[in-house]
Amino acid sequence: MSAEPIRDGQNVALVHDRLREAILRGEIAPGQITSQVLLAKQLGVSRTPLREALRMLQGEGLVLAEPNRRIRIAEFSIADVEQLYAMRVALEAVAISATVPVLTPEDIGELEGLMAQMDHYMRSEDLERMAGPHAEFHARFVAAAGPRMASTIAQLFDHGERYRRAYGAVYPGRWPQRREEHRAMFEAAAAGDVAATVERLVAHYAHTATFVISKLDASHEPELLRTAVQVVAPGAIEATYMTGNRATRRAPRRDAARARAR
């Protein structure tokens, strides 16, 4: 983590944001145990706003309290990543169902622009700049669900990013598959096909989650994730061949009208 001090070391929001970013980006390793004194020194802040920032991060599940005012960064686990993606599948299916019917031509144009930005940055292997349009792309699909749901989904997205970064799910070599999945989501939404959009999003998340799970434990059977997928979008099981302990990709149906007729 950079030792550059925060300009306003008394501002709880700034301290919280910087520390949260360091955790999500892996600058502070999962499972690392440290002290408030050391963190305050690294960030160049006083301990009063740091304590409040840590309390907020504990509420989010990114930080765990240890004896003697020490803190531990939340570790990665199969249980956590499986619950995380099961929640994303369930919540975003509802949010998409509210959002796709009200997408305007301007929204569709902006989504296509975001895809172009993602592709540009991934072709140059600029993962940092790609993160912005990627987050915005997914946020556009859930925007009409209301601020409470959108806020929860955004937090889950960030927690998913922590796993994706750590286990190589955002590696440029995986981009052609991910680009195809984003394109399939976009085309279904542009056609106004809610069911196909949900199915393609769920398949996309199933690929990512099972990839990460395989890195944690290749023998693990993701029963909770499989159940969530089966309940929300059964077609995604077939679309990903989500059997055994991993999901493999099946080419998405590109014609939304044909998908509705099936």
d(CA 183, CA 210): 20
Q: Is 85 exposed, middle or buried (0-12, 13-18, 19+ CB in 10 A)?
A: buried
Report strand pairing: 63-66 vs 33-35. Answer: unpaired
3-state class percentages of the chain: helix first, strand second, coil last, to nearest 5: 70, 5, 25
d(CA 6, CA 220): 42
- Contact assessment for residue 184 and residue 252, using Cβ atoms and an 8 Å cutoff: yes
Structural domains present in the chain: 12-73 (1.10.10.10), 78-261 (1.20.120.530)
Max distance between CA atoms of the chain, in angstroms, equals: 63
Task: Please report the pLDDT score of residue 255 as a whole number.
Answer: 43
What letter does residue 243 receive in the DSSP assignment? B
d(CA 124, CA 57): 33
Give the global pTM: 0.85
62's tokens = 């990114």
Other beta carbons within 10 Å of 75: 11
Task: Please report the pLDDT score of residue 242 as a whole number.
Answer: 57
* Per-residue pLDDT of the chain in tens (262 residues, 90 and over written 9): 554 545 454 689 999 999 999 999 999 999 999 999 998 888 888 888 999 999 999 999 999 988 888 999 999 999 999 999 999 999 999 999 999 999 999 999 999 999 999 999 999 999 899 999 999 999 999 999 999 999 999 999 999 999 999 998 777 788 999 999 999 999 999 999 999 999 999 999 999 999 999 999 999 999 999 999 999 999 888 766 555 444 444 444 444 433 433 3
